[in-house]
Structure 1
Amino acid sequence: MKKRRLFFPLLAAAVLACTVPLQAPAQGGPGGGGANVELTAKREAGGGPSTGVAGKWVAKEGSNDVKLDIKVDGSKLSGTIENTQFPGPIEFKDGKLEGNTIAFSYMRSMGGQEIAISWTGTLSGDELNLKRSVGGER
C-alpha cells in the first residue's frame, strides 16, 4: 500500500511536467540561444566595400552562424536569413529600411507550428546590431 501512495503522486507530477508548456528565456545568455536575443553581425569576409546595410552579414549565436544576405531597394528590404542550427535559408520580402535602422520578419515552421520571427537592427559602421523576437503578432 505504501508503494501505491508514493507511485500516484510521482505519476501525477510526471504527467504535469509533460503538459506544462516550456518557455524560452526572454534574453539569450552569454553563450547565445534563447528565443529573443541581441546579436552583432559583421560583414562577411570578402563581401567588398561597405554599402550601407545591403550585402552579406554573419553573426554568432553561441556555436551557430546566423547569415544574412540583404538587398535594398529604396526603403524596402528583402533577402535571406540562414541559421546553421536549422537547414536552409528563409526568404523575407517585406522588410523596411529607415535611415540606419532595419526591420523584417518571416514565418518558420517549428514542431508543426508556424512561428513569427521578427528582427530589428541598426547599422553602426561595419556592424549590424540586431534584435530577434520570437512569437507574438506579425
Structure 2
Amino acid sequence: MATLETVRVRDYMSTRLMTFTPEMEVMNAVHQLVKSGHSGAPVVDASGKLVGMLSERDCLQIALVAAQDTCVAGPVSQYMSKNVETVSSDMSLAQLAGLFTQNRQFRRFPVVDDGKLVGQISRSDVLRAISHCC
C-alpha cells in the first residue's frame, strides 16, 4: 500500500498550467487570471525556465498604477515575485506536506526539474493523495 513517504510529487502534480512570460503586459495576465479563476501562475522564459510567479497579491500593486486612470501597467516582470520556492517532482508528499505546514501562506509550489517548470502541486493535491492512501 502506498504511503505519503512513497508517493511522489509527480504522481499528483498538475502538468497543464497557465503560464505567463516576463514580457507580457500585466493587465493581460490579470484578465486571464480572472477569467480562469486562478489565483496565480508561474512565469517562464522562452526556454521554459521558471523566472517568477505572479499572484493575486502581486497584482494588487497594479491598483496604484490603475488609480492613475491607465490600463497599461507594464510587463509581468515588474510585478512578479522573483524569489520562488520550488519543489522537485521526486520529492515525497510527506516532505511536501511538511513544507506546506511550515509555509502557511503558500497554496501551491511550482515543480521544477533540471531548471525547467514541469508542473505545479497544491495543498488540495496533497489532500487528494491523503484520501487515496489512507
- TM-score w.r.t. the length of structure 2 is 0.26
Higher strand proportion = 1
Q: Which has the larger radius of gyration?
A: 1
- TM-score w.r.t. the length of structure 1 is 0.25
